[in-house]
Amino acid sequence: MKSNILVVDDEPVARQSLSDILKLEGYVVSSVANGQAAVEHVRTHAVDLMIVDLKMPGMDGLEVIQVVNQTSPETEIVLLTAHGSIESAMQALRLRIHDYLLKPASPPQILASVKKGLSRRTSKSRVSAVASASSDNAQDVYSLKDGTMVDLSRRQIKFKTKVEHLTPAEGRLLRILMENEGKVFSHRELVLLVQGYDTSQQEAPEILRPLVSRLRHKLEAFPSLSEKVVSVRGTGYLYEGGG
């Protein structure tokens, strides 16, 4: 399914140029000439990603972002500006934008930013769906075949006289994996679900590795859990059931 992109720029040449670059890549592109039109468009159309100019007459880019964050929080935003002011950049970043590009940005820069933003949106959508499904099907206590009890609300595992306690992060990680048995999660999705923030595909494995290592170390004490958190090479992790 093709992604819907909205280009917002009061300069006709810049607006047309951006639209053409994105259409050539196969995106469905709409464009508007001012902030008010952008807000109206987002209210009435599905927009996966928006590229918005910072300096526009009337409603400027930062005001547009503030409104869109309220009306369509899942829309990723790339801010374009000819004014490389640190204040604007910092303010924009606080407003939850995906990226910040100085004009004139080259086509490869623009396409790389758009691709990354859409990838981030897909990841966040999947995570949101999983989190929603998990809350609908929440199960706090798992009783495994050998008598091992996993109590996720108390974050503890029991087998005979052995009891192991999990940290909040370890408990969240194990819950996500157990509630979605057999489903492979990317490193990035797990960082977002467990730690609550988005990160790059490069950084995510480094952030996750120590947490997974600590969890596995605790699970080793329980035969029916010791090899259940499985690495999927180059991708992420899954929980293998059957215990």
Give the per-residue pLDDT at 134: 56
pLDDT tens for 167-177 read 999 999 999 89
- pLDDT-derived band at 97, boundaries 50, 70, 90: confident
Distances in Å between the Cα of 31 and the Cα atoms of 63, 101, 193, 203, 237 are 18, 18, 34, 34, 40
Same fold? 4-127, 138-239: no
Q: Are 52 and 80 in contact (CB under 8 A)?
A: yes
* Residue 40 confidence (pLDDT) above 60: yes
Asked: is 4-127 a CATH 3.80.10.10 domain? The reply is no
Across residues 8-37, what is the average pLDDT? 95
- Say if residue 210 is preceded by a cis peptide, omega within 30 of 0: no
Buried residues in 140-165 as b, exposed as e (16+ CB within 10 A): eebebeeebebebeebebebeeeebe
Q: In what order do the strands lie in the sheet with 229-232?
A: 185-186, 236-239, 229-232
Across residues 67-84, what is the average pLDDT? 83
* Residue 234 confidence (pLDDT) above 60: yes
pLDDT tens for 184-198 read 888 988 888 887 777
Domain boundaries, the chain: 4-127, 138-239
Asked: is 138-239 a CATH 1.10.10.10 domain? The reply is yes
Give the per-residue pLDDT at 242: 63
The pTM of the whole model exceeds 0.85: no
